[in-house]
Structure 1
Amino acid sequence: MCIRVGHTVTITEEMVKQYAFLSGDNNPIHQDPQEAKKYHFQKPIAHGMLVMGFGAEIVAALAGRNCVISEYELNFVNPVFVNDSVQLIAEKRENSNWVEIRGIVSGVTVVKGKAKFEILSNSK
């Protein structure tokens, strides 16, 4: 048996601006279309860690309460552009503490990876 959770998020310009401010990552390829084109991107790209944050959110939802994410990796196989709507899907097999993650934009896989979660013991 497999349990699947999905969520779609649109990476807005405002999200990217806020993430740049909070993280200090002001690389212009995230906000300046001309700079993005210099690096062969058709338009500004989202911060990888911003996308990873949304992936961690669905892993946490799938893992449930009293769990922590102990390992997490996400590979960017295609760019995630500002204003893309990313469908994030997390799947967990029964009796496993590993979750597989995929991100899809317009039918194209943009990210894929996995996360491991651990159940916290009740400390009473």
Structure 2
Amino acid sequence: MVGQHPSGGYILEELSVGMSAEKPVTVTEERIQRFAEASDDFNPVHMDEAYAAKTAYRGRIAHGLLSASFGSAVVGTILPGAGAIYLSQTLAFHRPVKIGDVVVAKVTVAAVDEESARVTLSCEGYVDGQLIMDGEALVRVPRRRRLAKG
């Protein structure tokens, strides 16, 4: 498990397969409300307890993409960190997330492509040790700066 790089981000040459980082984030009423406002997704399964109580979930659940965004926080601030640019992301959701759950977003380096400066990341989310979502991200990572020839 790695922590945040002192510079804010790892460069391509510092990354290797198997490096991982995680971040726990609590799902709160406020986060759900702000995500609904930011995304304009006011689906009542997320916003209305009376409605959600009548669904298979028996109560409100968080937006799937809210939970997935916690993985983005790991990618953008820890591994690879500052300078990493998302190119693509796949996601599969396995379990609902409720208000009060702590989502542990985990990112692991699965492949490093030196030629293209792209890194494949395995992305997972857990609540109480149970997998709630997983997928794969492709990110572009800065390289070590080459000295200008003079």
TM-score by length of 2: 0.73
Determine if contact 2:90/2:135 at 8 Å carries over to the other structure: yes
Structure ranking higher in helix proportion:
1
- Distance in 1 between the 2:112 and 2:135 partners? 19
Report the CA distance between 1:2 and its aligned residue. Answer: 1.1
Give, in whole Å, the separation in 1 of the partners of 2:38 and 2:139. 26
Deviations 1:72-111 (Å, cap 9, x if unpaired)?
Answer: 1221111111221111111114635110011111121101
**Cross-structure match for 1:28:** 44
Q: Percent identity?
A: 28
Task: From the superposition, tell whether residues 23 and 94 of structure 1 become closer, same or farther in structure 2 (CA, over 3 Å).
Answer: closer
Match of 1:3 in 2: 19
Distance 2:83 2:71 in 1: 18
Mapped to 2, the partners of 1:115 and 1:76 lie a distance apart of: 15
Render the CA deviation track for 1:18-67: whole Å, top value 9, x for unaligned: 11122221111112222112221132111122122111111223123332
Structure 1 alignment gaps of length 5 or more: none
Q: What runs of 5+ residues in structure 2 fail to find an aligned partner? A: 1-16, 114-118
CA RMSD of aligned residues (A): 2.0
Pick one of 75, 79, 86 that aligns with 2:96.
Answer: 79
Aligned to 2:85: 68
How many pairs does the alignment contain? Answer: 123
